Every structure is written in structure tokens, then in C-alpha cells.
């Protein structure tokens, strides 16, 4: 079976994890693949435009993606996504710590084998903590 016929759609959380930080009305979301092979699939599909679309409901005005191939990761900077920031928002949860959950729900098309190897890597990391 060739890889093209074994492609599946999965949420980003199946092949990567994320960390979020915030300052004012700006958030940064780091995406870190569990397996090095996933980097290329994320690079091809998780564009700044897709991230902007995922956060449109929060009023994001600009998204910039920074590729960090030496670290095997990505950093996305999202402007105007925190509805004024923790001190300026009437929203109960206006800060960005939880925003990586939205990013982790974006679907990507990847080989089924990559999902399985990412699951094993995730389990190995979780058991060593």
C-alpha cells in the first residue's frame, strides 16, 4: 500500500502538542510534533491562514507563523485574539493559556502510520514523567 492511499484526517493533537503564552492582547502558540516526520506535514498544512480561520471567532487580526526546524517546532503569534487581554476583557477567560486547545482541533491529513508512531512516542513520554 502506498502512503497516498493510507492518508487519514486527524486533529493536530494526534501528532503534536502545544503550549500557549500571552501578553496583552497577543498570544503565541507553539506546536511541537511528537515525531520528526510530522514536521513536514504540519509545515505544509498548518498555515497562518488556517490558524487565523480557527481563531476568527475571537477577532484575531493577524497571525504570523515562525518555523523552528532546528527545534522541530513552530511558533504562531496571534494579534488581537484575547479580547483586550486579561486586564482589559470582560470575558472570564480572556487570557491565552487555553488557546492551544483550539489549535489542537485543526484537522490535518497524514499517513496512518505517523499517527501510530506519534501515539507510541506520546505514551513513552507520558510514562517517563
pLDDT in tens, 3-44: 556 999 999 999 999 999 888 888 999 999 999 999 999 999
Residue-wise pLDDT tens digits, 30-41: 999 999 999 999
* Backbone dihedral angles phi then psi of residue 39, each to the nearest 5 degrees: -55, -45
- Helix spans in 1-103 (H): 38-45, 48-54, 100-103
Domain edges within the chain: 3-127
Nearest to 10 by CA among 113, 82, 126: 113
For residue 67, what is the enclosing H or E element?
Answer: strand 62-68
Residue-wise pLDDT tens digits, 96-117: 667 889 999 999 999 999 999 9
Beta-carbon-side half-sphere exposure of residue 117 (alpha carbons within 13 Å): 11
Residue-wise pLDDT tens digits, 62-96: 999 999 999 999 999 999 988 765 555 555 454 56
For residue 19, what is the enclosing H or E element?
Answer: strand 16-23
Q: Which CATH number fits domain 3-127: 3.30.70, 3.30.1360, 1.10.730, 3.40.630?
A: 3.30.1360
Q: Is the pLDDT of residue 2 over 60?
A: no
Amino acid at each position: 500500500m502506498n502512503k497516498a492511499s493510507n492518508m487519514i484526517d486527524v486533529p493536530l493533537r494526534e501528532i503534536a502538542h502545544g503550549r500557549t503564552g500571552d501578553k496583552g492582547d497577543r498570544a503565541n502558540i507553539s506546536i511541537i510534533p511528537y515525531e520528526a516526520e510530522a514536521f513536514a506535514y504540519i509545515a505544509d498544512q498548518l498555515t497562518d491562514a488556517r490558524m487565523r480561520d480557527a481563531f476568527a471567532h475571537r477577532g484575531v487580526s493577524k497571525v504570523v507563523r515562525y518555523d523552528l526546524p532546528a527545534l522541530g517546532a513552530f511558533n504562531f503569534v496571534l494579534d488581537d485574539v484575547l479580547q483586550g487581554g486579561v486586564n482589559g476583557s470582560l470575558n472570564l477567560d480572556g487570557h491565552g493559556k487555553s488557546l492551544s486547545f483550539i489549535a489542537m482541533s485543526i484537522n490535518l491529513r497524514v499517513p496512518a502510520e505517523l499517527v501510530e508512531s506519534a501515539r507510541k512516542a506520546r505514551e513513552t513520554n507520558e510514562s517517563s514523567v
